[in-house]
Amino acid sequence: MPSAGPPKRAQRPDRSQPEAEDEALLDPTSTKCRICAGDTRAAGTRHGALAGRDFQIRQCPSCWFSFVADPWLDYGAIYDEDYYRGRGADPLTDYVDEAANPHRTVRRFEWRGILKQVHGLGIVGASTTWLDYGCGAGGLVQFLHQYGLPSAVGFEQSWSLDRLHERGVSVLSEEELAERAGTFDVVSAIEVIEHVVDPLAELARMRALLKPGGLLFLTTGNAKPYRGDVANWRYLIPEIHVSVFEPETLALALETAGFEPSFPGYGPGWVDIIRFKMLKNARRRYSYPFDELVPWPLVARLADKRWGFSAHPVGRVPAAPAEPVTATAAVAAAEEASPAEPAPGE
């Protein structure tokens, strides 16, 4: 295995501009790295239980991006009602039940942790505009409304969209999303980026939705502890998790898409986010009073040290440059701010 080092800087088009395209990236069967365009190597196979076949996994030794080289692209079959009800590729996730039981589901810990974490990054206020990109059954959107963010909206596709409308969840269509470019303070993408074949294009789309100074907060699995055996990582469900990242890889992807990546690390929300992840993987759907006996701050710290949940970066859109102040404008502003001198004889 090549020695670990900083990922090589990509030599590619500026993906922060929506019109920029790279045909190699848009070909889902290409073996070129979808982040840095470098050569990749075979990293094993992973059997997909839902598809009933093996999938080829490839890994880039330059930036350590790993991906499914022969993805299943029948999205209607993958993201159907069974998927959203926990009967599909990921049996541990039942989005419909979570949204129907917001006060019982263990998912509420994740929602609470996301709000705490974003608030800790200095973004959240009563007027914050927040888009949950890939909102599932709308649970986080509903939670944000409950906790004082009435302008929060979601974006979702596939089977869930009609159900979101039926339940009155604030959700945008494709056309409405395009009209809201540059209007959001926060975009959250919770366990979304691993689902897309072309991550750079998806990140560039999210960037276009944010205001200058806006924040992209995302979560996804950390592939770094599994670098030498990524094909056997339990998180890599090959029908749906087709792109997996190490933290430095994701930072490179964010930068290539036009963000300024940063690593805030373990913050105030991660206890709750990790608590949810551990309960979910223990196949727990609901929380119970005895859960409070667990020393979650200690457990979450130890889990984060082992699996690096909080190690991924966030992305910020560069703030708009300040308008230059001319000498004339500066004098005028100073005169306006100064009290008028009294006229002679007054």
pLDDT tens by residue, 138-170:
999 999 999 999 999 999 988 998 899 999 999
Report the alpha-carbon distance of residue 128 to residue 194 in Å, rounded. Answer: 27
Q: What is the CATH number of the domain that holds 227?
A: 3.40.50.150
User: Which pTM does this prediction carry?
Assistant: 0.86
Indicate whether 37 belongs to any domain: yes
Indicate whether 12 belongs to any domain: no
Residue 36 has a pLDDT of: 96
Measured CA distances, 342 to 247, 287, 335, 339 (Å): 64, 72, 14, 9
Indicate whether 329 belongs to any domain: no
Asked whether the beta carbons of 261 and 313 are under 8 A apart, the reply is: yes
The percent of residues in the chain predicted with pLDDT above 90, rounded, is 80
Indicate whether 241 belongs to any domain: yes
> What's the burial of 161, exposed, middle or buried (CB within 10 Å: 0-12/13-18/19+)?
middle
Asked whether the beta carbons of 32 and 65 are under 8 A apart, the reply is: no
Indicate whether 344 belongs to any domain: no
Asked whether the beta carbons of 117 and 139 are under 8 A apart, the reply is: no
Ranking 5-19, 96-110, 249-263, 264-278 by mean pLDDT, the lowest is 5-19
The per-residue pLDDT for range 178-232, each reduced to its tens digit, is: 999 999 999 999 999 999 999 999 999 999 999 999 999 999 999 999 999 999 9
Note down the domain range covering 186: 23-316
Other beta carbons less than 10 A from residue 319's beta carbon: 11
Residue 4 binned pLDDT confidence (cut-offs 50, 70, 90): very low
Residue 29 binned pLDDT confidence (cut-offs 50, 70, 90): confident
Q: How many structural domains compose the chain?
A: 1
Asked whether the beta carbons of 270 and 113 are under 8 A apart, the reply is: yes
Indicate whether 249 belongs to any domain: yes
